[in-house]
Chains A and B, each alone.
Chain A
Amino acid sequence: MKSKIFLAGAAMMMGIGFTSCDNVLDETPRNIFTPEYFKTEAGVQGGLTSLYANLRNTQGQAYYWNALETGTDEYTYGESGEDENFMVLDFTPASALLKSTNCRADVFWGSAFSDINTASGVIENGEAAGIDKSLLAEARFFRAFDYFTLVQLYGGVPLDLGAGELKFNTSSTRTSVRNTVAEVYTKAIFPDFEEAVASLPDAPRTTGAVTKTAARLFLAKAYLTYAWWLENPNNIPTYPECTRDAGQAKSYFQKAYDIAVEAINNPGSYGLTETFMDAFYGPNDRNKEMVLYADHTAQDEYYNGGVGYGWGNGWAPDNFVNWIAHWNYTTMNNGLLIRDGRQSYGRPWTRCATTGDVPHKFNDQSIDYRFEGTFVTAFRANWYHNGGAAGFEKTGDTERVAANGMKIKNGDIALMFKGESDPNVKVPNGKGDSGLGAGTIDGKPYFVFTPELISRRCYLNIWKSGYYNETTIADETSVGMPNGANPRPWNIARFSELYFIAAEAAVKGATTQSGMSARDLINVVRARAGKWRLAPYADKDYNVDLAEGKLYADHSAEMVAATPENITIEYILDERFREFFGEGLRWFDLVRTQTWEKMAGTYHICDKNYGNVSETFTRSIKPHHYLRPIPQGQIDALQMTKEEKAAYQNPGY
C-alpha cells in the first residue's frame, strides 16, 4: 500500500515538469491582423481597397454633405434641422456661432489623415514588395485627393504625420505643424496627381477604380483652384500665412485648361450620358459619366459596409444624404403619401431645405431639362404600395380625396412642385386641405407648390440622389425598404465637370484650343441638358420610356441659342448650379471663386410657416469663414502649449 501511495505521489509531482513550459505566455492572434500584415503583398493590396472603402466615410455621409451645401445658395437648414449640425452653417441671425466644436466639415478631417497614412504605407511598402506602379498610383491619387479636399476646407495642413513629410507614420506622435497651402499643393497634391495621370490606366482595373481620366479631372481642378488662390481677387485670407504670387496664377489656369481638355479629348470609356436624367436614374448607376464614386451595393449587406438594408442608423459608411435633404411628404393629409423605397420618396428627415430662390435659378425650365432631372416635381399617391398581398388588403380605399374635394387614385399626382410662379394657384390660409399649406388650381385634383410657398417644412426634394434599391423595386405591392440607407453609389465627380473646369480656366485667361472656347465647352453641357427623356411631372419611378431610352423632346438647339455670347464666372457658377445642384460641390465652387458672400448672402424662404409668407434671410459670411475651423478634437489631442494650440487654429474661430 505504502509504495503505491509513494508512486502516486511521485506521479503527481511529475506534473510540475509538464506545466512549467514557456508556451503558457506566448501570444498568437488568430482572428485579427496586426500592422505586421502590411509588410506582405496581400496586405498592401488590402491597404489600397481600404482607400476606396474610406470614401464612404465622407462621400454620401449626410452631415459632411450638409457642410458643403447648407449656407450656400442651394440649401439652408430645414424644419428638423434646428440644431448645430445644420444651423451654424447657415450664418443667419438665429444660428449659433460656427465653432471648432460644431462644424460638420470635421467629418473629412477625421477621416482623411488615416487615409493619407495608409496611402503612404501602401506606397512605401508597395515599392519594397514590388507592387505594380499603376496600383501604387491609385494610392497616390487618394493621397492627393485627401490633401486637395483638406486644403480647400482648412487651408494649409501638415504633410508630416510624425515620420517625415509624406512618410508612413507608426509613432503615436501628439504634435503637429501645419504646412502652407502652397506647400501642400506643390509638394503633395500636384506631384501625386501628376504621377497618377502618368501611371494610371485608361480603363479601370476593376469597376469603379480610378483611371487617367479621374486623375486628370482632379489635377485640372487642383490647378484651377490653386490658380484662384494665387490670384486672390477678393483678398480672402489664407492660413498659415504665406506669400502668394498672383503672377503665377495665369500659368496654372492654363495648366487647368490643358489637362481638362486633354481629358475631354481622351475620354476612354467615359463620356456624357444622352440626357441629364440618365446620369441619375437608379438603374443607370455606374454609368459612363461617373468618374469617381463611393460605391455601394444592394446585393450584399456586408460589403455595402452599412448596418443593413432594412433600417439605417444615419452614419457612415452609409449613404443617407437623401434623408436629410427630403422633407416629410408623409405629413400630407389623408394618407395620400407614405414612406416608400423609391427614388422620389425615401426616408424624410427634413434637415436641409432648398431655399425659395432655387427654382428661379433654374431658368429656361421649358427647355432646360435639369429642373425635372434634379428634383421630385410630382408626388404620386402611393398608399397602394402598402397593400395588395394577401392579408394586407384595405377595403373601400381605391380612391381618396385630394385637392378641391376631388378624388384621386393611386399613382395619380397628389402634389406638384412647380418650378415657376403661377397666378392660377390659390394659396390657402395656414395648412389648408393638404395639411401642408399647398395651393390648389381650380378643377385640378392635386395640390401645388410654387417657389413662393417653399418653406423649411416643404421644399424641393432631391431626386438625383434619391433612394434606389434594385433588389426591392420590382415589387409593386410593397414600399420596399424606405428606412434603409441608400445602397446606391455616391457620385463624387462626373465627366461633365471637365467642360466646366476648362471653361472656367478659359474665362480666367487660359489660351483656348480651336472649337473649345468657354462658350463651346459650356454648350456641350447645355445641349445635353436640352434633351428631354420624359414629359414634365412624369412618373420617374415607373417609366418604361426612361428605361428604354426614347427621347420625349430635344431642345438642344434652343439651349445653345440661349447661351450668352460672353461667358462670365457668374454665368459659369449659375450653370454649375443647374448642373451639379446637391452634388456636394457648391461650397467649394463659391469658395474657390471667392463669391460665396455675393452669391449666397441672402435668401428667401417661408421659414417654418405654411403658406405664402416668404421672408428674407441675410447671412453674415465673413472672409475668415472661407476656411473651416480645425476640429476641436484635433486641438485637444495635441500635446502642445496653449499658444501653439491657438496658433494651430484658423484665425476667427
Chain B
Amino acid sequence: MRKLKKLGTWSRTFLLLSVLCFFAVLAQAQTVKGVVRDQNGDAIIGATVKVLGGKGGTVTDSKGQYSIEAPTGSILSVSYIGYLTKQVRLRGENVVDIVLMEDNTTLKDVVVIGYGTQRKESVTGSVASMKGDVLRDVPTGDVTSALQGRIAGVQMTQTSSKPGASQQIRIRGTRSLSASNDPLIVLDGIPFAGSISDIDPGSIKSMDILKDASATAIYGSRGANGVIMITTNKGTKNTNAQFKYNMYVGTKTNFADYPMMNGDQLKKVREISGAYQPVFTNGDEVEGTNTNWQDLLFENGFTTNQEISVTGGTETGAYNMGLSYFKDDATIPTQGFKRYSMHAAIDQEIGKIFKFGLSTNTNYSVTNNANLGIGNVLSASPLINPYNADGSLKGVVHMEKDNQWTYTGDRIKGLGDSYKDQTTGFGTYNNFYGEIMCPGVEGLKYRLNLGLNYRHQKSGSHTGTGVFSDSPTSNSSSNNTNATTWNWAIEHMLTYDKTFGDHTINFVALYSAEKSHYDSQNMSGLKIPSDQLLWYNIGQAESTTINPDPKYQGYKESGLESIMGRIMYNYKDKYMASFTLRRDKSSRLGGKAHTYPAVSLGWDIAKEKFMESASWLDQLKLRVGYGETSNESVDPYKTLGLLGTRAYNFGPTGYAMGYYVSELPNPDLDWEFSKTYNFGLDFSFFRGRLSGTAEYYIQKTENLLQNVSLPSTSGVGSVYANVGKTENKGFELSLNGIIIDNKNGWTWEAGLNFYTNVNKITELADRKDRDEGNGWFVGYSINSLYDYEKIGIWQKDEEELRQIMEPGDSNGPGMIKVKGGYYTEEEEKAGVIPEGKKVGDARAINSYDRQIIELDPSWEGGFNTRIAYKNWDLSAVASFRHGGKLISTLYGSSSYLNMLTGRRNNVDVNYWTENNPTNDYPSPAGPVSNDNPKYGNSLALFSGSYLKFRTITLGYNFKGEWMKKIGLTNLRAYATVTNPFVLFSPYYDESGMDPETNSKGDENQAVNSNYNKRILVVGFNTPTTRNYLFGLNVTF
C-alpha cells in the first residue's frame, strides 16, 4: 500500500514537471492587462493574478488593474479573499477584464484556533468567528459591547454603564462558585495580561471564540471558561500603500431619566404614610415646588472616534499601522473616558526560510470622575427649591430627616480641583515572532513567539473640604493608587504541515513558559491643605491619617510552564480529527503538573458520494468533541496560608498592628476541572445563501473551590478547599442567510443566533443541599437569590387570611403579599410545626417562605440584518433574552428610593390606596421594616425578558469617477442611532428604562450589602444613553 502511494506521488510529480517543460517550450510570452472588479463593478484591490504553472504573479493596484506576462493558451487564475477564484484561458487577448463573484460560503475562511489557524471547513471544535468589520457594525469604543448578542453561547452582560466600562463575558455560562468565570483572552497569540478596555476595536482583524474543551484544551489549565482569540490587523504582501480614515462623532442623551416622583406626588405619599409632614416647613421644602433634580444635573454627552491607518506590503514584507482616538463623555457633567491607541504590525521574510514579525498595541486612557454618583439627585425631595431668594444656589438643602449637598450639573462643573477622580492607564502589548522553515523537510517549521506586556494604572481622587457633604467643614481627602502589571511569555513551537495526496496532517509541538506580575500601592490622606495638590502629595496631609493601608497593597506573581502537542488530520475535507495534549505546571500549586487531553472528530456528509446529487448542499458537517480543562482558579500564595491583620490603638495615638491565623496552609489545593462534551452540526446550503451551526454541549465541573467553614472551635474560621460540582448544558444555533442576493440592486441579509444554557449546582461543600448565605442550592443555578417573592398586595376582602399570615401588622390591607404562609414539608422535617397543625395549614409568614429565585434567562441571543439598495444600506443589530429575573434595586429596599414613606423622593410607582386597589405596589401606610415596606426587596424583581435594538444604521457608499480623480477608492457615510428602542420588556414598560443591568450587586445602592457582588443589578449608575452618531469611512 505504502509503495503504491509512493509511486502515485512520484508519477504525479513527473507529470507536473513534463507539463511545465511543455509550457516553457511552447508558450509565447505576451503582456496581458485588465481590471478586476466585483459584481457591483467596484475595483478589487490586491487581488492575486497568476499564470497557472507559471512563475510568480502580481496583484491588482489601487484601481484594480493588473499587468502580467502570460503566454497565449495559458490559464490565468485570479483570486481574492472572500471571492470565488476565477480561471480564464487566454486566447491571445491583450486586455482581459475579470469579474469576481463573491464567495458567500465562508468555508474557506481561516479561523484562529490557538497556536495556529485552520480553514473553517475543517474545524472540528466549537469555534465562532467574527470579522473586525462585522464587529464594527456597532460603533463603540469597547470590544465587549460590540460583541453583545452577536455570538451564540457568548453572553455579554453590562456591569457598569459608565464610559470606559467593559462588560462581563461568560462563555457557555458560569461554572465556578468562587473563582473567576472570565474567559482567557489571547491577543495575537499571547495570553493577554491587560484590561479589555485597552483594546481598540478599530485595530481588530478578527475575533475567534473557542467555546468547547476540544478547542480550548490547548490552553489547558486556563481553558475552562473559553478562550477569546483576538487578532489585530496585519498587512498583505504585494499591495500598495492604502490609507483608511474612519471616524464618527455623536451626541448622547439619556435613554431615560430615572422615573422619580414630582413634588405633588411625594406630598401625596407623605400624606398617606403619615410618617412625615406633607411639606417639611422647617427645611427647604416649599409647597407647590416641583424641582426636577435630574434636569438640573444631566446634559447631553458627546462621543467620537477618530482612526487613521495605513497598510501595504512589498514582495517580502507587509505592514499595518494605525492611530486612533476615542472619547466618550457621559451625560453626567465631567464624567468621561478617553483613549489614545497605537497599533503596528510588521512581517518580513528574509530569503526563503526565514520570517519574522512584530505586532504592538499601545494605548493610554483617561477615565474622569467615574465615581460621581447620582444617588443624592434621585433621593432629593422635589419639593425643595434649590435656590435662595437672590437666585444663588443653596450650599446644602434640608429635608425632614436628611440634609444633602445641593447637587447640580453647574455646581459640579464649577468644582474644579476641589473634586477630581481620575484613572489613567498606559498599556503596551508586544509580540515578536521568528520562523524558520526547516531546509530539506517540507512543511516543518520552527517558530519562536515572545510576548512582553506592560500596564500601568494610576487612580487618584481628591475631595475638597465640604464637597458632597452636608457639613461645609467635612475634611478634604485624597487617595492614590498605582498598579503595575507585567507579563512575559516565551513559546517554542515546531509545526509540521503537509499534504500527502488526500491526507493532510498538521502537527504542533510547543514548549512555553510565562510569568505574570502585579503589584499595587495605595495611599490616602485626610485634610489636604490645598485642592491644587490633588493626590500628588498626600504627604502634605495635615491629619495624621496618612495611610498606606496594608489591605490595599497588592502583590502577585505567578509562573506557568507548559508543553503541548496537537495533531490534526484531514482526509479530503470529509473526515477530520484533532488530538490535543497539554501539560501545565503552575507556581500557584507549588509546581504541581496536570495534563489536559482533548479529542474531536468531524465528518462532512456532503462530501460523501451518496450526497453528490444534493448539489444545493455545500456542507453538512457533524462534529463531536471531548476535552478536559481547568480555570487556573487558585490565586497565588493560596496554598501557603495567611495571617490576617488587625490594626489597633493603645490609647488615642498608640498604634500597633496585630496578626492572627486567618487561613491555614493547604498544600493540597488544586484547580477546578471541567469535562466537556460537544456535539455540533455545521451546514451550508445554496452556495452559502443559508448557513449555520447548531451545537449541544454538556460541561461538568468538579473540584470547585469553596471556602469551607471550619467549626469555630478549630480556632481558624475556614479553609479553602476543592469541593462541589456544577454542570452546564446548552444548545446553540446560529443562522446566516442571504435572503435577496443582488436582485435589481436589492440585497437583504440576516443573521440570527439563539442559545440556552442551563446551569446547575450538583454538589456543595459537606454535601449540603443549600447554602442560603451565598444563595447556592443543589439543583439550581449559581445565579440564584433566596428571598421572599411578592405575589400581590393584600386587598380589603382578604383580611381574614392576612390576619393569620401577617399577624401584628395592624395597618390593614395594602401591604405586600408574599408567596407562602402555609406549613411546608420542610418545616415538618425540621419538626417545627406545632401540635394540632399540619402541612398546608395557614400560618404566619416565616423564613421558610423565602423562595429560591433563579435569575438566569431561559434563552437569549441576537440578530442582525442588512438591507441594501444600490448605494444605500440600512442595518440593524439587536439582542434579546427571555425569562429569568432582573433585579432593579431602585424598586427594592436597598436603594432607599422606594421607601414609600416620603422620607426621600420615591420612584414613581402605582401604590395601593383604598380607591386604587392595585396589586403593583404597597400602600404608603403599610408596615415598615428597616425604613422600607415590609418585604420591600420583593419589589426589586422584574422579568428579565427584553428585545433591544442596539443599533440602527443608514449608510451610503459613494461611487463614481470623481472619487478616482481625487484618489479615493472607497467613501462611505453613515448615521447610527444606538439603543433606539426596547420591546417585550416588562421592566421597560414599568420604568421606561433600559432593561440591562448596570451595576454589580454591591454597587450603586444606598445599602450595598443586600446582594452578592456577582449578581448583576440595576442600581443608580450613570444612565444608559441613546447616541446619535454620524460617521465616515474613507479609503485612499
Binding site for B on A (CB under 8 A): 1-2, 4-5, 8-9, 12-13, 15-16, 19-20, 23-35, 37-38, 43, 46-54, 56, 80, 82-83, 94, 96-97, 109-110, 112-118, 120-121, 157-158, 161-162, 169-174, 176, 206-209, 286, 295-305, 310, 313, 317, 330, 333-335, 338-339, 383, 386, 389-392, 394, 397, 400, 470, 475, 477-481, 631, 633-634, 636-639
Contact = CB atoms under 8 A, between A and B. Distances in A.
Contacts of B930: 80
Contact of A12 (B394, B436, B587, B590): B436
A215 B651 CA distance: 20
Contact of A29 (B472, B555, B659, B846): B555
Enumerate the 7 nearest inter-chain pairs by beta-carbon distance, A residue then B residue, closest first: A117-B715, A50-B658, A207-B651, A49-B658, A53-B646, A24-B559, A391-B395
Given A113-B713, A208-B650, 12 more contacts: A34-B643, A37-B643, A38-B643, A50-B646, A208-B651, A295-B650, A301-B547, A305-B646, A333-B277, A389-B473, A392-B395, A470-B652
B929 interface: yes
Interface string B637-651: 100111111111111
22 contacts: A15-B490, A24-B513, A25-B587, A26-B587, A29-B636, A32-B642, A50-B646, A52-B648, A54-B646, A114-B661, A114-B717, A118-B661, A157-B713, A170-B664, A206-B654, A295-B649, A299-B545, A300-B544, A386-B403, A477-B473, A636-B709, A637-B712
Contacts of A82: 929
Interface of B: 277, 280, 282-284, 350-351, 353-354, 394-396, 398, 400-401, 403, 434, 436, 446, 448, 450, 469-474, 490, 492, 511, 513-515, 519, 526, 544-545, 547, 549-550, 553-555, 557-561, 585-588, 590-591, 636-637, 640-661, 664-666, 708-717, 719, 766, 768, 808, 832, 846, 929-930, 1009
A8 to B, nearest CB: 7
Contacts of B715: 113-114, 116-118, 120, 161-162, 169
Contact of A303 (B436, B655, B709): B655
Contacts of A298: 652
B1005 to A, nearest CB: 13
A539 to B, nearest CB: 22
Given A1-B351, A38-B643, A299-B544, A637 B710 contact: yes
Contact of A297 (B561, B649, B832): B649
A26 B545 contact: no
A13 B434 CA distance: 10
Contacts of B653: 297, 299-300
Of the candidates B282, B394, B591, B712, the one having the most CB atoms from chain A within 10 angstroms of its own CB is B712
B712 A32 contact: no
Contacts of B650: 52, 206-209, 295
Of the candidates B545, B559, B661, the one having the most CB atoms from chain A within 10 angstroms of its own CB is B661
Nearest to B659: A46
A9 B766 CA distance: 56
A643 to B, nearest CB: 16
Nearest to B639: A27
A51 B660 CA distance: 8
Nearest to A1: B351
A158 B713 contact: yes
A297 B648 CA distance: 9
Of the candidates A13, A117, A303, A391, the one having the most CB atoms from chain B within 10 angstroms of its own CB is A303
Contacts of A80: 930
Contacts of A383: 282
A641 B554 CA distance: 42
Main secondary structure on chain A at its contact with chain B? loop
Given A8-B434, A334-B282, A83 B929 contact: yes
A16 B511 contact: yes
A172 B664 contact: yes
B544 A117 contact: no
B837 to A, nearest CB: 15
Given A300-B544, A391-B472, A636-B766, A114 B636 contact: no
Contact of B555 (A31, A114, A389): A31
A27 B664 contact: no
Given A172-B664, A397-B282, A633 B354 contact: no
Contact of B659 (A8, A43, A633): A43
Contact of B549 (A56, A116, A302, A478): A302
A47 B641 contact: no
A25 B586 contact: yes
A2 B554 CA distance: 50
Given A29-B555, A299-B544, A392-B395, A50 B591 contact: no
B632 to A, nearest CB: 14
A4 B554 CA distance: 46
A51 B587 CA distance: 34
B665 A35 contact: yes
Contacts of B515: 24
A176 B711 contact: yes
Contacts of B660: 47, 50, 54, 114-115, 118
Contacts of B353: 5
A507 to B, nearest CB: 36
B712 A33 contact: no
A93 B659 CA distance: 45
A161 B395 contact: no
A12 B356 CA distance: 11
B354 A35 contact: no
Contacts of A470: 652
A116 B660 CA distance: 10
Contacts of A634: 711-713
A94 to B, nearest CB: 7
B448 A15 contact: yes
B649 A296 contact: yes
A146 B469 CA distance: 41
Contact of A16 (B492, B554, B644): B492
Contact of A162 (B472, B490, B640, B714): B714
A35 B641 contact: yes
A34 B547 contact: no
A5 B664 contact: no
Given A34-B637, A35-B641, A38-B643, A113 B714 contact: yes
Contacts of B514: 24
Contact of B716 (A53, A56, A169, A639): A169
Contact of B282 (A35, A335, A479, A638): A335
Contacts of B661: 35, 38, 114, 117-118, 121, 170
Nearest to A176: B713
Contact of A478 (B401, B471, B646): B471
A37 B586 CA distance: 25
B288 to A, nearest CB: 19
A49 B513 contact: no
B545 A301 contact: yes
A583 to B, nearest CB: 21
A157 B513 CA distance: 52
A640 to B, nearest CB: 9
Nearest to A163: B715
Nearest to A50: B658
Contact of A113 (B471, B590, B712): B712
Given A5-B353, A15-B448, A389-B473, A639 B766 contact: yes
Contacts of A113: 712-715
B658 A335 contact: no
Contacts of B547: 300-302
A139 to B, nearest CB: 12
B354 A8 contact: yes
A386 B470 CA distance: 9
A82 B283 CA distance: 31
Contacts of A208: 650-651, 654
Contact of B637 (A2, A27, A339): A27
Contacts of A397: 282
Contacts of A338: 403
B719 A172 contact: yes
Contact of A386 (B398, B555, B636): B398
